[in-house]
Structure 1
């Protein structure tokens, strides 16, 4: 097993769970993976080796990738010479692997909190070819699978039963147990690697761009149905799927409106407004009970919207909310919405948090009640709390720069 360079003790993997450690709260058991193809231990002499100590004067490494795990309890950072895993609450670094020579990691996809990771090389000196997905099992301290493609891998999504690999114009769905190819999907040009999969105990729902501008494709694998939703007139910039796969939030390249759809019938459930001017939406996130939606953009503001969800819908739990949320604000001119443009009858965010404009941030809801976790490509970590009744500016509870070597964990 691999050692943890962030800790003086030699105990391996104290924070990752092996398949045998999965709890009854996990939606599905982690499948056994056969080596496919067999990993050549000589092909990567750096992986698994203890990292060299970083000199105190060394500058912080460049961040190539940052992403939450499936339940937003952890996040992973890919850097120019390895990767790191952090716990969100309490905030601390729990695992790191540094490579001696090169070793850039452009994609790190976690599988909840277990020992399985999907890695793709990146940066100026990638650890792996950018057209390969390496399945790393830290319990065994080796690669147990490898998937090769003819073009660069844009992103990877994991479930306990599936591996989803996103290329520029194709998506491949594999069975996790034996890496057997189950499905291929063609998409419009997708340089961001947009794709999302449901993580609930039920059947798999996958969303990805369709073949037309502004179109979203929804795959319901249990019922073997494909649904196409014309979400926007302009290209899709970002989307998110609720945990149970019943709801889809989308934003276009204009970045002014966010639309929420029913994934089963494609109906529009709600439309909310981020702002009046164009913006690039970086991330969308549903709360675990699908009552709230968070949005981050290049305008330097994270917005939280209240969603109008039928409390009787299956899979939606409102038990976490003690008080009725504030009604979404409307324009003061909404009484003449039939005369003036739709802008004046728009639903606006309940709560906001101000950040540095122009930097890239992703957002998720924290495990503490009414909290939001924000990660910046500059290494910033924020935890904020919003008032579900009165709304307004969020309160900053915590801040860290997780890329600074001198940061104490």
Structure 2
């Protein structure tokens, strides 16, 4: 299982993979559309939707709702927001440059370009604010808190050092600047509460966790001693107790965010020769001794393939989920009380649609509401467009439904139903 091969045996990149905000769903984009999987079971994957249209480069689903944001390879400057159960495109926006990443929560939708970010109100898709002239960000590195009350956006504040700019996406002002690393940033992730942010740099050896409130450093973990490591993903567990880290190596590290003073390992170190030496050695050396080590490690059967990771509780067991761009999902068991190696439990391929999957039943007929009610509730999107225009037919249809955005027809749509849409109108944060 601990392989040193330079690539995944399943071949080069052919998929974009992404977990939703609470790791209850896996989105897979490919050259012939995209697929959505529910992650309620580890023994089998439930394919809830398969779209066989144009190639999909970015796919973001809002929790387990029917709202999906999609960017294709053929139109990398266009964002489409779809209701997959209806098989309907709700709206689309065109931007001045390639869309590098898209983030969603119940309040905001963030579109990240190389030197700007657009903040949309997810209730009506209007543009609330544009952050322009950001430091060059060619990888589209950006994080959005999933908590709509602590609704923060984080992005690189510098292209030469590891500064993190945190922006309040509700009140629309800068929150804080965190000097996280000396080298440029490689990965960012908020905790589920939105009060902590994890960072990693291109150097790839140290992961740090900071308080969003006062920018203080809360934790520091050492991933390893190697210098040529490209960290690609950081992910907190929903409980906030664990933080996982993946890179271009064959290992995924899981760190436990416990009070250092209550850590059994730290108590042993402080009472040993190591604790004695840290009082006399230079700061640079003692920092290495005091950095936390991985609580658990998962060994992947490949290296050199980018992947997305998540920690989730599925069927009453803590699991590490690793989805690769070559089209495989690996599921590892984690014992939250015992450090050590995570155990590979299951492997699922993502490169085929089951023969018995009925796209019509799954994708289009699972909800009885009519499409006019949906389009009406999104009539406000014609205001505040970023550069570019929506299609004329769609725009005319939305204008005709403008009144419905202010007073949605009764019985036409369940606005509070997470299985359909997030709240769209007349609900305060």
Shorter-chain TM-score bucket reads: 0.7 to 0.9
Distance 1:408 1:240, change over 3 A: farther
**Matched residue, 1:92:** 46
Contact 2:49 2:84 in 1 (8 A): no
Contact residue 144 and residue 154 of structure 2 kept, 8 A? yes
Are residue 402 (structure 1) and residue 350 (structure 2) matched? yes
Alignment partner of 1:241 is 2:166: no
Equivalent position SS for 2:288 = helix
Residue in 1 aligned with 2:6?
Answer: none
Q: Relative to structure 1, is the Cα distance of residues 326 and 222 closer, same or farther in structure 2, using a 3 angstrom cutoff?
A: farther
Q: Which residue of 1 aligns with 2:28?
A: 77
Q: Which residue number in structure 1 is paired with residue 288 of structure 2?
A: 343
Structure 1 residues 285, 61: closer, same or farther in 2, change over 3 A?
Answer: closer
Q: Structure 2: 5+ residue runs without aligned partners? A: 1-9, 358-429
State the shift of 1:199 in Å.
Answer: 1.7
Q: Shift of the alpha carbon at 1:197?
A: 1.4
The aligned residue for residue 393 of structure 2 is none
The Cα RMSD (Å) is 2.6
> Normalised by the size of structure 2, how large is the TM-score?
0.71
After alignment, is 259-268 or 374-383 more displaced?
374-383
Contact map agreement 1:326 1:391 (CA 8 A) in 2: no
- Aligned equivalents of 1:286, 1:113: Cα separation in 2: 19
Preserved contact between residue 97 and residue 113 of structure 2 (Cα < 8 Å): yes
> What CA distance in whole angstroms lies between the structure 2 residues aligned with 1:201 and 1:194?
20
In structure 1, stretches of 5+ residues that fail to align are 1-58, 311-323
- Written as runs of structure 1 = structure 2, the 5 A alignment for 1:270-281 is 270-278=219-227, 279-281=229-231
Q: Is the 8 A contact 1:353 1:394 kept in 2?
A: yes
CA distance in structure 2 between the aligned counterparts of 1:301 and 1:198, rounded to whole angstroms: 26
Measure the CA separation in 1 of the matches of 2:259 and 2:88.
45
Residue deviations 1:36-95, cap 9 Å, x none?
A: xxxxxxxxxxxxxxxxxxxxxxx9996331100111011111101111111223223221
Match of 1:6 in 2: none
Residue 97 of structure 2 is matched in structure 1 by 151
Contact 1:104/1:121 (8 A) holds in 2: yes
What displacement does 1:325 show? 8.0
Contact 1:326 1:388 in 2 (8 A): no
Q: Is the 8 A contact 1:69 1:111 kept in 2?
A: yes
Q: Residues 216 and 62 of structure 1: is their aligned pair in 2 closer, same or farther, counting only changes over 3 Å? A: closer
8 A Cα contact 2:20 2:62, kept in partner:
yes
> What is the TM-score normalised by the length of structure 1?
0.75
Any conservation in 2 of the 1:326–1:390 contact (CA below 8 Å)?
Answer: no
Q: How many residues align?
A: 330
Could you tell me which of 79, 100, 107 is aligned with 1:133?
Answer: 79
Alignment of 1:21-32 (within 5 A): none
1:301 aligns with 251
Per the alignment, in what secondary structure is the counterpart of residue 370 of structure 1? Answer: strand
Higher helix share: 2
Name the structure, 1 or 2, with higher relative contact order (CA <8 Å, separation 6+). Answer: 2
| Matches of 1:364 and 1:141, distance apart in 2 | 28
Q: 1:190-221 deviations in whole A, cap 9, x for unaligned?
A: 12211121222524111111145311111234
CA offsets, 1:311-350, max 9 Å, x none?
xxxxxxxxxxxxx986479799733234262323321101
Matches of 1:147 and 1:243, distance apart in 2: 28
1:114 aligns with 2:76: no
Evaluate the alpha carbon distance shift between residue 359 and residue 138 of structure 1 in structure 2; reply closer, same or farther with a 3 A threshold. Answer: closer
1:293–1:306 contact (8 Å) kept in structure 2: yes
Q: How does 1:8-407 map onto structure 2 within 5 Å?
A: 63-90=14-41, 91-99=45-53, 103-122=54-73, 126=74, 129-186=75-132, 187-212=134-159, 213-222=161-170, 224-278=173-227, 279-308=229-258, 327=265, 334-335=274-275, 336-337=277-278, 338-339=280-281, 341=285, 342-355=287-300, 356-368=302-314, 369-404=317-352
Q: Note if contact 2:18-2:27 (Cα within 8 Å) is conserved in structure 1.
A: yes
In terms of mean alpha carbon deviation, does 113-122 or 200-209 score higher? 200-209
Change (3 A) 1:309 1:191: farther
| SS at 2:320 equivalent | strand
How big is the shift at 1:139?
3.9
